[in-house]
């Protein structure tokens, strides 16, 4: 069965629109992640799934306290804890329990976070 030119173009347009929307909703460097709390901290809600940490890219301001509110939703991962090198963070992530990790990035740049296996599953925090 052959599709008409109009049907193919409509399908392509819808696919492009969906991909554009998905890309626009992802966190990118330069766009602050999460929401600001009444105490002035930046709160980012995260999950650990079979796909890893979600979101895996976070953008924050230097010297603003950061709260990562993390729920590990799977046992099929090595990300049973979150590790950040500087400032040092090593927090266990029990299955199906929400854990809040608080720290303050002090200098601009890129921080890696992830599992205890050399951050094999993890992401990046862009500090402005």
Rounded-to-integer distance, Cα 81 and Cα 97, Å: 12
> What is the value of pTM for the model shown?
0.76
Rounded-to-integer distance, Cα 93 and Cα 112, Å: 17
Q: How many CA atoms lie within 13 A of 122 on its CB side?
A: 17
Give the DSSP H/E element, type plus range, for residue 71: strand 66-72
Q: What pLDDT, in 10s, does the model give residues 7-26?
A: 655 655 555 544 444 444 45
In 3D, which of 115, 119, 89, 118 has the Cα closest to residue 101? 89
In 3D, which of 68, 27, 79 has the Cα closest to residue 46? 68
Structural domains of the chain, with CATH: 35-127 (2.60.40.420)
Neighbours of 25 (CB within 10 A): 8
- Cross-strand partners of 59: 126
Q: What pLDDT, in 10s, does the model give residues 71-112?
A: 999 999 999 999 999 899 999 999 999 999 999 999 999 999
In 3D, which of 55, 71, 63 has the Cα closest to residue 87? 63
């Amino acid at each position: 069965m052959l599709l008409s030119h109009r049907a193919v173009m409509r399908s392509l347009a819808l696919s492009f629109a969906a991909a554009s929307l998905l890309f626009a909703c992802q966190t990118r460097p330069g766009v602050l992640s999460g929401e600001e709390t009444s105490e002035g901290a930046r709160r980012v809600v995260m999950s650990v799934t079979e796909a890893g940490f979600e979101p895996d890219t976070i953008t924050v301001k230097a010297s603003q306290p950061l709260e990562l509110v993390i729920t590990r939703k799977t046992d099929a991962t090595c990300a049973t804890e979150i590790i950040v090198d500087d400032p040092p963070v090593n927090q266990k992530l029990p299955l199906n329990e929400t854990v809040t990790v608080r720290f303050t990035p002090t200098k601009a740049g890129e921080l890696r976070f992830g599992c205890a296996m050399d951050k094999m599953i993890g992401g990046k925090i862009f500090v402005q």
